[in-house]
């Protein structure tokens, strides 16, 4: 498999991506303004320990919704405090991520505001993942995915996996293997093995077609490639980012 090399980011691509975001966001511009209109948001210093006061129920209910963090019932005092904590933590992480990745904070906040349906705790997680793995959302290196049960997770794309591998000092190559048995003409499974200079044995992950296939068009057009991608992504998670 061809591994994408870590390339210097070109401002033109980022500008083009922002333009697309702004065009898609125009319909809900007034609603977004109510979210981002908090005065002095980036100037509020917040310690990460604030999150300790937030309960699990608060985490489930908090989300960036139209106009504000959406709560289904009357907000209790504790829930309001939890909302404020998350609001401030997200603002702090936006500032930190923008500084680390050399991004415009306003552009990054616009990208975040576009995903109004994503829960606040997942927004916070993607901002921290950007920083820990140095991934740029404008280069489509990470994003969000929603599962059938409605839950949201941070998703590292193939571009992101390629960048992680190529910038890791211990990465020493990878190998794919596939099953001889077929399901609807597709290999039953694909294995990915990642070699590291500091390990004796490679880290190997096998993904089965029947477990990971999807009804999305991309899976119908390129099922073998998508199965290989799933194997690579899971292997990177265990061998590099885990």
- CA–CA distance, 28 with 24 (Å, rounded to integer): 9
Give the rounded distance of the alpha carbon of 128 from its chain centre. 10
- Percent of the chain scored above 70 by pLDDT? 67
Give the list of residues 6+ apart from residue 241 with CB closer than 8 angstroms, or none. 133, 156, 164
CB neighbourhood size of 194 (10 A): 23
Pair 144, 224 in one domain: no
Q: What would the pLDDT profile of 20-68 be if each residue is shown by its tens digit?
A: 555 554 544 444 444 444 433 333 233 333 333 444 454 444 444 433 4
- When comparing pLDDT for 43 and 128, which is higher? 128
pLDDT of the residue at 76: 61
Segments forming the whole domain that contains residue 138 = 11-154
How many distinct structural domains can be found in the chain?
2
Pair 145, 185 in one domain: no
Pair 209, 150 in one domain: no
Pair 112, 177 in one domain: no
């Amino acid at each position: 498999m061809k591994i994408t090399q870590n390339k210097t980011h070109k401002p033109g691509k980022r500008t083009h991506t922002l333009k697309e975001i702004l065009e898609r966001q125009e319909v809900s511009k007034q609603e977004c303004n109510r979210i981002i209109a908090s005065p002095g948001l980036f100037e509020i210093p917040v310690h990460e320990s604030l999150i300790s006061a937030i309960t699990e129920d608060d985490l489930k209910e908090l989300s960036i919704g139209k106009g504000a963090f959406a709560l289904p019932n009357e907000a209790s005092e504790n829930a309001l405090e939890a909302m404020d904590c998350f609001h401030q933590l997200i603002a702090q992480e936006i500032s930190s991520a923008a500084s680390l990745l050399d991004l415009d904070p306003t552009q990054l906040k616009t990208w975040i505001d576009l995903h109004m349906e994503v829960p606040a705790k997942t927004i916070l997680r993607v901002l921290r993942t950007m920083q820990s793995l140095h991934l740029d959302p404008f280069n489509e290196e990470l994003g969000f995915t929603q599962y059938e049960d409605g839950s949201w997770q941070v998703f590292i794309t193939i571009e992101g996996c390629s960048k992680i591998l190529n910038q890791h000092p211990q990465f020493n190559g990878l190998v794919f293997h596939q099953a001889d048995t077929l399901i609807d003409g597709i290999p039953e499974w694909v294995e990915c093995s990642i070699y590291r200079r500091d390990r004796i044995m490679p880290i190997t992950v096998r993904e089965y077609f029947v477990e990971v296939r999807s009804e999305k068009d991309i899976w119908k057009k390129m099922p073998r490639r998508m199965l290989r991608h799933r194997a690579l992504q899971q292997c990177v998670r265990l061998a590099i980012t885990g």
